[in-house]
Chain A
Amino acid sequence: MKTGTVYTETVVWSPPEMYVNDAPYQIAIVDLGDRRVTARILGERVAIGDQVELVEERNEVPYFRRRAD
Chain B
Amino acid sequence: MRRVAVVGVGKTAFGAFPDRDLRSLAVEAGQKALQDANVGPAGVEALYLGNFAGPSFVGQNHLAPYVAGGLGISGVPATRFEAACASSGAAFFHAWSAVAAGIYDVVLVGGVEKMTSQPTPRVAEILAGAGDMSGEMRAGATFPALFAMIARRHMYQYGTTREQLAAVAVKNHANGAKNPLAHMRKVITIEQALAGKPVAEPLTVYDCSLVSDGAAAVVLVAADRAAEFTGKPVHVLGVSQTSDRVAMDEKEDITTLRAVRSSAEKAYAMAGVKAADIQFAEVHDCFTIAEILSYEDLGFVLKGEGGPYAQSGATCLRGERPVNASGGLKSKGHPVGATGVAQICDVALQIRGEAGDLQVKRNEIGLAQNLGGSGATSVVTILGAAK
Q: Which residues of A contact B (CB under 8 A)?
A: 7-20, 22, 24-25, 27-29, 35-40, 48, 59-62
How far is it, in angstroms, between the C-alpha of A59 and the C-alpha of B72 when the chains are bound?
A: 49
Report yes or no: A7 in contact with B153, Cβ–Cβ below 8 A: yes
Report yes or no: A13 in contact with B199, Cβ–Cβ below 8 A: yes
Q: Which residues of B contact A11 (CB under 8 A)?
A: 198, 200-201
When A27-B140, A48-B152 are in contact, do A12 and B200 touch as well, CB less than 8 Å? yes
How far is it, in angstroms, between the C-alpha of A45 and the C-alpha of B21 when the chains are bound?
A: 44
When A10-B152, A14-B144, A15-B121 are in contact, do A38 and B199 touch as well, CB less than 8 Å? no
B120 an interface residue at 8 Å Cβ cutoff? Answer: yes
Q: Which residues of B contact A25 (CB under 8 A)?
A: 140
How far is it, in angstroms, between the C-alpha of A41 and the C-alpha of B153 when the chains are bound?
A: 17
Measured CB to CB, the nearest residue on chain A to B124 is A16
Report yes or no: A59 in contact with B121, Cβ–Cβ below 8 A: no
B237 an interface residue at 8 Å Cβ cutoff? Answer: no
B254 an interface residue at 8 Å Cβ cutoff? Answer: yes
Report yes or no: A61 in contact with B200, Cβ–Cβ below 8 A: no
Nearest Cβ on chain A to B239's Cβ, whole angstroms: 32
How far is it, in angstroms, between the C-alpha of A8 and the C-alpha of B156 when the chains are bound?
A: 9
How far is it, in angstroms, between the C-alpha of A59 and the C-alpha of B156 when the chains are bound?
A: 31
Q: Which residues of B contact A22 (CB under 8 A)?
A: 140
Q: Which residues of A contact B249 (CB under 8 A)?
A: 29, 35-38
How far is it, in angstroms, between the C-alpha of A27 and the C-alpha of B153 when the chains are bound?
A: 14
When A10-B152, A29-B248, A38-B248 are in contact, do A17 and B138 touch as well, CB less than 8 Å? no
Report yes or no: A16 in contact with B200, Cβ–Cβ below 8 A: no
Report yes or no: B198 in contact with A13, Cβ–Cβ below 8 A: yes
Query: When the two chains form the complex, which single residue of B125, B136, B152, B202 contacts A18, counting CB atoms closer than 8 Å?
Result: B125
Nearest Cβ on chain B to A56's Cβ, whole angstroms: 13
Nearest Cβ on chain B to A1's Cβ, whole angstroms: 13
B149 an interface residue at 8 Å Cβ cutoff? Answer: yes
B135 an interface residue at 8 Å Cβ cutoff? Answer: yes
8 Å CB interface, B167-209 against A: 197-203
B137 an interface residue at 8 Å Cβ cutoff? Answer: yes
8 Å CB interface, B75-126 against A: 120-122, 124-125
Report yes or no: A8 in contact with B150, Cβ–Cβ below 8 A: yes
How far is it, in angstroms, between the C-alpha of A23 and the C-alpha of B137 when the chains are bound?
A: 14
Query: When the two chains form the complex, which single residue of A8, A10, A12, A59 contacts B138, counting CB atoms closer than 8 Å?
Result: A59
When A9-B152, A38-B248 are in contact, do A16 and B137 touch as well, CB less than 8 Å? yes
How far is it, in angstroms, between the C-alpha of A21 and the C-alpha of B276 when the chains are bound?
A: 48
Measured CB to CB, the nearest residue on chain A to B197 is A13
B128 an interface residue at 8 Å Cβ cutoff? Answer: yes
Nearest Cβ on chain A to B101's Cβ, whole angstroms: 40
Q: Which residues of B contact A59 (CB under 8 A)?
A: 138
Q: Which residues of A contact B153 (CB under 8 A)?
A: 7-8, 48
Q: Which residues of A contact B140 (CB under 8 A)?
A: 12, 15-16, 19, 22, 25, 27, 40, 61
Nearest Cβ on chain B to A6's Cβ, whole angstroms: 10
Nearest Cβ on chain B to A41's Cβ, whole angstroms: 10
Q: Which residues of B contact A60 (CB under 8 A)?
A: 134, 138
13 extra A-B contacts, CB within 8 A, seeds A12-B200, A19-B140, A60-B138: A8-B152, A9-B149, A9-B152, A10-B145, A10-B202, A12-B145, A16-B121, A16-B137, A25-B140, A39-B139, A48-B152, A48-B156, A61-B140
Q: Which residues of A contact B197 (CB under 8 A)?
A: 13
B 150-165 binary contact with A (CB < 8 Å = 1; else 0): 1011001000000000
Measured CB to CB, the nearest residue on chain A to B119 is A17
Q: Which of A9, A16, A36 has the most CB of B within 10 A?
A: A16
Q: Which residues of B contact A48 (CB under 8 A)?
A: 152-153, 156
How far is it, in angstroms, between the C-alpha of A60 and the C-alpha of B134 when the chains are bound?
A: 9
How far is it, in angstroms, between the C-alpha of A6 and the C-alpha of B198 when the chains are bound?
A: 21
Report yes or no: A61 in contact with B138, Cβ–Cβ below 8 A: yes
How far is it, in angstroms, between the C-alpha of A39 and the C-alpha of B148 when the chains are bound?
A: 15
Measured CB to CB, the nearest residue on chain A to B150 is A8
Nearest Cβ on chain A to B245's Cβ, whole angstroms: 11
How far is it, in angstroms, between the C-alpha of A19 and the C-alpha of B291 when the chains are bound?
A: 29
B141 an interface residue at 8 Å Cβ cutoff? Answer: yes
Measured CB to CB, the nearest residue on chain B to A11 is B201
